[in-house]
Structure 1
Amino acid sequence: MNPPSSAPTPDEEGPGPQWDRVAAGWKTWWPTIERAAQCVSERMLDLADVATGQRVLDIATGIGEPALLAARRVGPAGGVVATDVSSRMLEIARERAALAGMSNVDFGLADAAQMDFPEGGFDAVLCRWGVTYLPDPPNALAAIRRTLVPGGAFATAVWAEADSRPLADLAQAVARDMFDLPAPQAQAPSRAGSVEDALAKAMIHAGFADVRTERLGLTLEWACADACTQYVLDVSPDLVALFLDRSSAQRAEYRHRLADRLGPYLAADGRVRIPNLTVCAAGRR
């Protein structure tokens, strides 16, 4: 989704400030997000064989996932380093770790595209939904591989085909209709398995061995359509940028239009349940 002309573009502003603006929203909605996404984090840890006593790196951790889950698994004898480009996201992650009484996880501000960790410093590396946002994924994957001990594992998750995130598609479509934003660039229709194939090839090209991929479904759920529309406006950097210079009436109209599009996902009890599809992948150094 393109921001309005008066808002800073991603290239002008950079990802850190963009994610800083939605950090409070992610703090508000993290229980909703993690109820759906924990199965993805757990599967990533299993694919990377994260175990007691290991040292783990979590890239693009956001407000601390799957870093905190990994910290529980490695225990006091192990440790987790978690990085992100957003200082405000990391503040929330530190708060969550402190509330959970975890002292074996360290959070640091770092750009995943410019990692500076010693070679062979980690038994496992994790990156949930962050790889595809990097400006140069091939080089990033090669850098990730270098941080692993021989035989160490990298596990990641990326979104599947374009229609695998229905709410994101609806949110973008409503914004385009309301504000006459340019349509996204036309892309060739993706075939089933194309995301897995592309990711596996990229990992193999970066030098990973024993590469494997699999699909995993997750369902986001909200108490009602109003909660769902508020969630969208709170956690999306693109929408926050879009509404920086819009009126409260336009914001209300957007919510009304988006709620109207949620009909197919409304349950009899009024709850909104939206299925999503992700691809998990893992490989070894």
Structure 2
Amino acid sequence: MDETQYKAFYNRVGAENGWDFSRVKCVSEGVKWDFYNEVAKRCGKSDLLLDIGTGGGEQLLSLSDAASLLVGIDNADGMVRTAQANAAAAGKANVRMLRMDADRIEFPDGFFDVVSCRHAPFCAAEAARVLKPGGVFLTQQVSEGDKSNLGEAFGRRQTAAKDGTLRDRYVNELTEAGFREIHTLEYDAAEYYETAEDLVFLLKHTPIVPNFGRADGDFAALHGFIAKYRTSRGIRTNAKRFMITARK
């Protein structure tokens, strides 16, 4: 996918579903942290939290008691509409969902105590600008080695870059933006999807296999994949993630 295709895909998913995968039945083994639990640990009750690329806002809303004000931003109209509807339904008066670009955050310098970003692009310089001195930035991202057997089965994947490329780029950008105490962690967990329908939902609502279902042979590849990787625990693939924490 090029940038235009990805944005169109992301906007469509946002309008249809937000970033809510709670209906997917999947068991993971080897996950070393829960990202939004890590965010909550860094928040004080009087803190202001910014979540970049908040998607449908489901995860941010779960943290409403962790900080005084929580702001989720996303640049996709469909995602923001879903996030705002989710926030209204939840009735959380201290949570705001706004349409905003990560490289042009419309808040003053030093406004937030904590900035988070999960599975979305961010601008290190902008994150640094809106953080207070001593503030903390956290991001979790999908590693290039994620869902490696799916990429092999379909002959295409979200990225062809070498594993670790994105992690190293972000560490360099955060360093250049003036962050200190930069730490990285990663895991490569096994995932077991209970049914074929659970796996199809994942593929339709993520760019793991670009344009899944549109290429000739996709469903034959899917059947072959399921036959090869079905186990007593479910259909196996992997989830590879890295997390970076940094202090301004």
Could you tell me which residue of structure 1 aligns to residue 51 of structure 2?
58
Aligned to 2:138: 155
Q: Percent identity?
A: 20
User: Aligned pair 1:277/2:234, yes or no?
Assistant: no
Q: Does structure 1 residue 223 correspond to structure 2 residue 213?
A: no
- Give the structure-2-normalised TM-score: 0.81
Question: 1:101 maps to which residue?
Answer: 91
Question: For each residue in 1:155-208, what CA deviation from the matched residue of structure 2 results, as whole angstroms up to 9, or x when unmatched?
Answer: 001223x22333662475268xxxxxxx976x5x54xx6654443232111100
Instruction: Tell which deviates more after alignment, 36-45 or 82-91.
Output: 36-45
Structure 2 match to 1:260? 224
Given that 1:126 and 1:154 are in contact with CA atoms closer than 8 Å, whether structure 2 keeps it comes out as yes
The CA deviation at 1:264 is: 5.0
Match of 1:40 among 35, 46, 49: 35
Aligned residues between the structures: 244
What SS class does the counterpart of residue 64 from structure 2 fall into?
helix
Q: Which residue of 1 aligns with 2:125?
A: 142
Compared with structure 1, are the counterparts of its residues 232 and 281 closer, same or farther at alpha carbon in structure 2 (3 Å cutoff)? same
Cα separation, 2, equivalents of 1:35 and 1:223: 8
RMSD: 3.4
* Bigger mean CA offset, 84-93 vs 144-153: 84-93
SS in 1 for 2:21: helix
Alignment match, 2:70: 80
Higher helix share: 1
TM-score, normalization by structure 1:
0.71
Please report how far the alpha carbon of residue 58 of structure 1 lies from its aligned counterpart in structure 2 after TM superposition: 0.4
**Mapped partners of 1:198, 1:27: distance in 2:** 25
Q: How much has 1:280 moved relative to structure 2?
A: 0.6
For structure 2, the 5+ residue unaligned runs are none
Which structure has the bigger radius of gyration?
1
Partner Cα distance (1:141, 1:219) in 2 = 31
The 3-state SS of whatever aligns with 1:261 is helix
Q: Which runs of 5+ in 1 are unaligned?
A: 3-8, 135-139, 176-182
- Distance in 2, matches of 1:224 and 1:33, equals 8
Measured against aligned partners, the alpha-carbon deviations of 1:86-117 in whole angstroms (never above 9, x if no partner) come to 12212222233333332211001111122222
Q: After superposing the two structures, state which structure 1 stretch, 230-239 or 90-99, moved more.
A: 230-239
Structure 2 equivalent of residue 166 of structure 1: 148
